[in-house]
Chain A
Amino acid sequence: MSSSNPYMPSMVKIIDVTEETKDTKTIKLTFVDDEVRNKFSFKPGQFNMLTVLGVGEAPLSISSDPGEKEYFSHTIRRVGNVTGAITKLCVGDTFGARGPYGNGWPMDKIQDKNILIIAGGIGLAPLRPVIYSIKNERENYGKMEILYGARTPGDCLYRREYDEWKKIPHTRLLLTVDSVPEGMEWEHDVGVVTLLFDKISLNPTETAVLICGPEIMMKFSVQKLLEMGFKDKDIYLSMERRMNCGISKCGLCQIGPKFVCQDGPVFSYFELCNLTEKIF
């Protein structure tokens, strides 16, 4: 990364591609330049600006274990020009990246608390580094419960890793899907993610909640959590907004006086509900 010019992407090389769902891939990357690679580290919940020259740039959460020093990953759903271009690339191909940006999840602040992770769809991507961070430093955190909802069983991300997650001490993984196509086996719940809330066993006053998903899902999750006695200061949301720079210059990502790219993307619900711009 050119330190003098924060807009300049550095070259990254694809070292592995995993098909997650029909429209989503997890791409393992490494910086081509040794210096950039050695300097790069990130916190769970941070994002990079990914560049395909000639197509554009887009903010994408980093989805890998922050303890991995050899590579980092992005889980990319094909929804726009940049994500469309990147998901067409193969192992060995290169494109651009700059970052990491943003505050990330408050991993220090939530130490010693129980951790309730609530994710919807692609929203699990920025939470995967949290799961691995907690696994790596298991003694620093309380019990962990992961609630994940997707559209169909085939839309669930990281299915190959669920057994490993469930083996993390004091960890529960609860899954639900909106619908199950005929003939498909599914031994978990069916319905929106909030239907899983009755199964939460964590004490609301000793638990930090980390949520990422579509705004509508976050809205109803927060509503129900507050009813259950979780505190607005303990509920953290990762917000999505349009971003062009990642460095609080382009002005696009503002919610009230907050720059989602630098002040966020993670905010407590307490912060968000007191802003001059209503979120949901």
Chain B
Amino acid sequence: MLQKENEISVLIENSRLLSPNGMNEFIRKLSAYYEVYAPIKGEKLVVFEKVENPQDIAWDYETTQISPKKFLHKPFEILFSFEDGGKIINENKDVVEKSQILLGLHPCDVRAIEILDKVFTKRYEDPYYMKRRKNSIIIALTCSDAHEACYCTSFGTGPRIDSGFDLLITTLGGNYLVEIGSARGREILSRYADALSTDSSILMEYHRLKNAKLEIIENKISSKMDTEDIAELLEQNINHPLWENLKEECLACGSCTIVCPTCYCFTIIDKVDLTLKSGERQRVWDSCMLLEFAEVALGVNFRSERAARIKQRVYHKLYSFEHQYYIRGCVGCGRCIRFCLKKIDPRKIIAELRGEPIEQ
């Protein structure tokens, strides 16, 4: 009983309630000190962009097409530039100095950043990613709905989240319940926000509303991926006919890897200016779905077969990541399904490998 009371007091102590005006004011103040990025309503899509006006924020957005990974692991960045004579200059030209706030990330995208953290810190620290990461404040947002393609519950990556953020916002009945997840979160909240209420009974009521909202979302996520013993399943099905069949479906366009919040593969290229002597070394996102991904000198290609490339992507997410980083590489955000031109669905791939009937 005491423990329970203690938990409640911690919960209340870490919660604030903000009015719509209070939230807008909070974000406006943050924008003065940080680059604030949030889901912004565009003409057709909601896109993570710099906040110009807090009223443009789409609090009830469906998962975006491109994930907020783009603010940490840039689609394109300059590693360094070089001058004639081989002098290397300006190592970190492209890395932001000003701290950034990534606001409105759904739980799946927060978990995806935790996965990227492992990739970019294991064995060698990637200085470009890490500098941005350390300068980034994560303000998560509880989902307001679930899309048909959402399957975060299969990976425990949502819709509930209790870590990985500095602040967590839940929109409830027009107000904003804000929960503190870190000392940094507490600091910006106490410095820049005026709480509507800190009354414990009101806050408890909002936590009850949040729970009810989460239950509705959880129940709505009916489509799941059965992840039990998935490593064994994949080990045993390397030669399953499904892979050959999928190659007839897949266009090998790479869309799934671009929209995936945990895909990180990149290619390093040198771009030279007209002198052919000075230029930049750049890195750009690459995709294991593309033909050239595994090609080496003399045209030798270790994954020239499309089936091999599809398999690589599925196995990397659901098998290799666990060997490499002790974590699964999928957060169930559903982007690869929604933005696949052929609607190839990993949930169905796994179901088929399990010999389960496939709904069309």
Q: Does B297 contact A (CB under 8 A)?
A: yes
Whether A249 and B270, one on each chain, are in contact in the complex, defined by CB atoms closer than 8 angstroms, is no
**B122 and A276 form a contact (CB under 8 A):** no
Asked whether any CB of chain A lies closer than 8 Å to the CB of B18, the reply is: no
Q: Is there a chain A Cβ closer than 8 Å to B234's Cβ?
A: yes
Query: B4 an interface residue at 8 Å Cβ cutoff?
Result: no
Q: Contacts A54-B277, A95-B86, A242-B293; is A277 near B270 (CB within 8 Å)?
A: no
**Cβ–Cβ contact B315 & A277, under 8 A:** yes
A50 interfacial contact with B, CB 8 Å: no
Q: Which B residues are CB-close (under 8 A) to A9?
A: 88
**With contacts A83-B297, A242-B294 known, is A53 near B270, CB below 8 A?**
yes
A241 within 8 A of B: yes
Q: Are B294 and A56 interface neighbours, CB within 8 A?
A: no
B270, A54: Cβ atoms under 8 Å?
yes
Closest to A94 in B: B86
- CB B350 to nearest CB in A, in angstroms, measures 15
Q: Looking at the complex, which of A38-46, A63-71, A254-262 is the stretch in contact with chain B?
A: A254-262
Cα–Cα, bound, A94→B322 (Å): 42
Indicate if B267 sits at the interface (CB-CB under 8 A): yes
Q: Which of B255-277 contact A (CB under 8 A)?
A: 264-270, 272, 276-277
Which A residues touch B235, using CB under 8 A?
Answer: 276
Q: A8 vs B293: C-alpha distance in the bound complex, in angstroms?
A: 23
Q: Which residues of A contact B320 (CB under 8 A)?
A: 254, 256-257, 276
Q: Within 8 Å CB of A245, what residues of B?
A: 268
Indicate whether B147 reaches chain A with its CB closer than 8 angstroms: no
Residue of A nearest to B296 (CB): A242
Complex Cα–Cα for A249 and B268 (A) = 11
> Within 8 Å CB of A58, what residues of B?
297
A11 close to B (CB within 8 Å): yes
Partner of B268, one of A6, A11, A94, A244: A244
In the complex, whether A55 has a CB less than 8 A from a CB of chain B is yes
Binds A, one of B50-58, B123-131, B134-142, B175-183: B123-131
Q: Within A57-110, which residues are at the interface with B (CB < 8 Å)?
A: 57-58, 79-80, 83, 94-96
- B315, A276: Cβ atoms closer than 8 Å: yes
Q: Are A250 and B127 in contact (CB under 8 A)?
A: no
Count, chain A residues at interface, CB 8 A: 41
By the criterion CB–CB under 8 Å, are A248 and B124 in contact?
A: yes
**Residues in A neighbouring B269, C-beta threshold 8 A:** 56
Interface bits B17-59 vs A (CB < 8 Å: 1, else 0): 0000000000000000000000000000000000000000000
Q: Which of these, B272, B279, B281, B315, contacts A256 with CB under 8 Å? A: B315
User: Chain A contacts of B295 at CB under 8 A?
Assistant: 242
Taken together as a complex, chains A and B put the C-alpha atoms of A250 and B268 apart, in Å, by 8
Contact B286 A251 (CB under 8 A): yes
Among A83, A95, A242, A247: residue with most chain B CB under 10 A: A242
Main secondary structure of the interface of B (DSSP, over half): mixed
Q: Which of B125, B276, B296, B300 has the most CB of A within 10 A?
A: B296
Q: Which one of A4, A56, A250, A254 contacts B266 once the chains associate, using CB atoms below 8 Å? A: A250
CB distance from B351 to the nearest CB of A (A): 19
Whether B86 lies near A57 (C-beta < 8 A) is no
Q: Does A252 make an interface contact (CB < 8 A)?
A: yes
A56-B270 in contact (CB<8A)? yes
Which A residues are in CB contact (< 8 Å) with B296?
A: 240-242
- Decide: B267 and A250 in contact? CB cutoff 8 A: yes
Q: Tell me if A7 counts as interface (CB < 8 A to partner B).
A: yes
> Can you name the residue of chain A whose Cβ is closest to the Cβ of B271?
A54
**Are the C-beta atoms of B270 and A247 separated by less than 8 Å?**
no
Residue ranges of A at the interface with B (Cβ–Cβ < 8 Å): 2, 4-9, 11, 53-58, 79-80, 83, 94-96, 215, 240-242, 244-245, 247-252, 254-257, 259, 262, 276-278
Residues on B lying within 8 angstroms of A by beta carbon are 79-80, 82, 86, 88, 91-92, 119-120, 122-127, 234-235, 238, 264-270, 272, 276-279, 281, 283, 286, 288, 293-298, 300, 302, 308, 311-312, 315-316, 319-320, 322-324
The contact sample of 26 A-B pairs, CB cut-off 8 A, is: A6-B127, A7-B127, A9-B88, A53-B88, A53-B279, A54-B270, A54-B277, A56-B268, A56-B270, A79-B297, A80-B298, A83-B297, A215-B300, A242-B293, A244-B268, A244-B283, A248-B123, A250-B266, A250-B267, A250-B283, A251-B264, A251-B265, A257-B320, A257-B324, A276-B315, A277-B311
